[in-house]
Structure 1
Amino acid sequence: MIWLAWRQFRTQALVAALIVAAAAVYLLITGTQLRHAYTADLVSCQSPNAQYSCFGLMNQLQSDYSGPQYLAEFLVMAAPALIGIFWGAPMIAGELERGTHYMAWNQSVTRTRWLAVKLTGTALAALITAGLLSLLLTWWASPLDTVAGNRWGTRVFNARDITPLGYALFAFALGVTLGLLIRRTVPAMAATLAIFLAVQVLVTVVVRPNLLPATTASVPVNRTSMSQAVRFDRADADTGPVRIDLPTPSGSWALSQSYALTSDGRPVQTARVLNCWRLLLSQAGEGKQGSPDFGPLGACLAPLDLHVDLTYQPVGRYWPMQWIETGLYAVLAALLAAACFRRMRRLRG
């Protein structure tokens, strides 16, 4: 039975091996070059006679490798969907369409054992494929991720470390289940892609931010906090709210941020901050180049006793959330596999 399963799967396995091998060669070569460039830029910008800032050099490094990074991330993120479409959906649907299930299920091997061998072998191949691609990309992109300082972005979180393994398991089990239910390969492939993408979006947008309780903090508006602000937006109307974008702790995942609030928790009106804003403009000059320093504005606003409420996931939650999300997809895959066995026992012809 194992030999037969391998014979039926060997073409897909060979294609996957070639893709992984090509990706490995490309990522190992360019990854080595990226590391040399990163180290050289770091040494150059930290030297006493540095002509360029580290910020500018690292931004240029990210720009130089953005194309290969997007390509590699797309490959890793697409791999689970392709596994579900081309490995999962045709596995049983193809047998039912061709009628070869009659021969397979009337031998000495029971249909339950037949399904168990095919599911186990192909699921293991899916895990190995997704794991190798994720490992290669995680190693390759580590200098760029260090520069960016953010591992919570959708492309980064979904294409690094262990989550691609959970996605691959789920996509494969989903394809097998839909192939068994629909009994036609092409419709099952289309349904697999549509449902997998829908689940990915739902988990990324709705489930992931709530996997663990978020941390909240109330940051007072003063010279110290405003010197770190990245944006200050006042409304056109005098009664409109004021938005101040303050950074969350380094490496954390910012979920939400309130308007500038008064001591009683109400959004401060634009009219109350206009004098401080005009004072800042008169001191710095409206035509000043570069990013503004909002520190003096914060000192002027301090007597108003304003604050901003931040909601975020601390940097230490990254790995727990990776494990929880991977486990969630693995549980969904196990439930789909159980449904396949249940359906298989009741299936006629």
Structure 2
Amino acid sequence: MIWLTWRQFRTQTFAVVAILAAAAVYLLITGTQLRHSYTTDLASCQPQNSCLGLLNALQDQYSGPQFLAEFFVMAAPALIGIFWGAPLIAGELERGTHHMVWNQSVTRTRWLAVKLAALALVSVVTAGLLSLLITWWASPLDTIAGNRWGTRAFNARDIAPLGYAVFAFALGVTLGLLLRRTVPAMAATLAVFIAVQVLMTAAVRPNLLPATTTTVPINQTTMSQAERFDRSEAVTGPVTIDLPAPPGAWALSQTPALNSAGQPIQTSEILNCWSQMLAQGPPAFKGASSGFGSLGTCLAPLDLHVDITYQPAGRYWPLQWLETAVYAVLAALLAAACFWRVRRLRG
């Protein structure tokens, strides 16, 4: 059975090896260049304490290759499900070769077990190598950004792609078995995989672990770090202030500006302070001493605050493991459904 599986999928295997080799060469060369530039920029800017401009320029320089590399790693599980999973059984059913295969000395259960195990292992190894390469390559850019929680960053790093790959493969096999046609199964695999990924990212991942909520007072210090300040055109409208979450945390939600009673304040309550700030000149970029700091000084006596809900920085690896486990369980359930269905198909 192992020899038969190799004979049937050796072309795909050679193609994957070639793609991995090309990706490794490209990422190793450009990654070494990126690390050298990063180290050089840090060494040159430390005496003048002017790293921000240099590092931002470096980030912009590699933003294109980073996007393509992350997109490739995120697309790899879907491609595995489409081209490896969907044709595995659907192809046999379309060609009618399952009649011969399932009437040999090897039982259909063993036939399916060997194929699922062998190709699932190759899928995990492929995704793992790609993830390892992009995680190593992008580590200087991740350090500059200071945020590992973005969709592309989280989905294309560390162990999460392994769970995506095994799930996509099992999904393709299951849909191929149910639809009994390769092309419809491939299309359905792509659609369902994307839907599950969106659902996981938007609704499941933020709730895998209980979030933390903290109250941030509005004053000169916090407002100097504000990323955005929006006031409603109507005097009765809310005031929105985007304050940063704790370092390295994943900000999930943030309330508008609240008073000491926990009620949203109205725009009319801050108009005087807003006018005073504009009289001193327009606010500068985030973090500058001449940003929203003066507005915070004026607002401080009002005892205002913002509630921020977030996942702490230390939850990154637990969430990576939990999400991978969720996909592994889904893959196991799909594999069990395949065994149940195959045993009941007429050979």
TM-score range, shorter chain: over 0.9
Match of 1:8 in 2: 8
Identity of aligned residues (%): 75
Q: Which moved more, 1:294-303 or 1:29-38?
A: 294-303
Where does 1:225-240 land on structure 2 (aligned, <5 Å)?
A: 225-240=222-237
**Alpha carbons of structure 1 residues 244 and 13: separation in structure 2 relative to 1, 3 Å:** same
Q: Within 1, Cα distance between the matches of 2:59 and 2:34?
A: 10
TM-score (norm 2): 0.97
SS of 2:230's equivalent in the other structure is: strand
Q: Aligned residue for 1:312?
A: 310
* 2:281 is the alignment partner of 1:285: yes
- 2:90 corresponds to 1:93: yes
Of residues 228, 241, 244, the one that matches 2:238 is 241
Deviations 1:29-86 (Å, cap 9, x if unpaired)?
00000000000001111124x7xx2111111101111111111111100000000000
RMSD: 1.1
SS in 1 for 2:144: helix
Question: Match of 2:233, SS?
Answer: coil
SS at 1:273's partner residue? helix
> Unmatched 5+ residue regions in structure 1?
none
Q: Determine the structure 2 residue equivalent to 1:34.
A: 34
Partner of 1:221: 218
| Distance across 2 between alignment mates of 1:156 and 1:186 | 31
Could you tell me how far apart the structure 2 residues matched to 1:285 and 1:102 are? 80
Specify the SS of the correspondent of 1:103: helix
> What is the CA deviation profile of residues 236-285 of structure 1, one whole-angstrom value per residue up to 9, with x for unaligned ones?
11111111111001110000011000111111111111111111222x22
d(CA) in 2 for partners of 1:285 and 1:131? 52
The Cα shift of 1:205 comes to 0.4
Kept in 1: contact 2:284–2:291 (CA 8 A): no
The yes-or-no answer on 1:164 pairing with 2:161 is: yes
CA distance in 2, matches of 1:214, 1:105: 51
Instruction: Please show how residues 316-335 of structure 1 align to structure 2 within 5 Å.
Output: 316-335=314-333
Q: Are 2:147 and 1:150 equivalent residues in the alignment? A: yes
What amino acid sits opposite 2:201 in the alignment?
T
Q: Are the aligned partners of 2:86 and 2:174 in contact in 1 as well (CA < 8 Å)?
A: yes
Unaligned runs of 5+ in 2: none
**Aligned counterparts of 1:70 and 1:201: Cα–Cα separation in 2:** 18
Q: Show the 5 A alignment for 1:40-189.
A: 40-48=40-48, 53-189=50-186
Are the counterparts in 1 of residues 42 and 51 from structure 2 also a CA contact under 8 Å?
yes
3-state SS, counterpart of residue 143 of structure 1: helix
| TM-fit CA distance, 1:222 | 1.4
Tell me the secondary structure at the aligned position of residue 343 of structure 1: helix
Runs of 4+ in structure 1 displaced over 4 angstroms?
288-292
* Matched letter for residue 91 of structure 2: G
When normalised by structure 1's length, the TM-score is 0.97
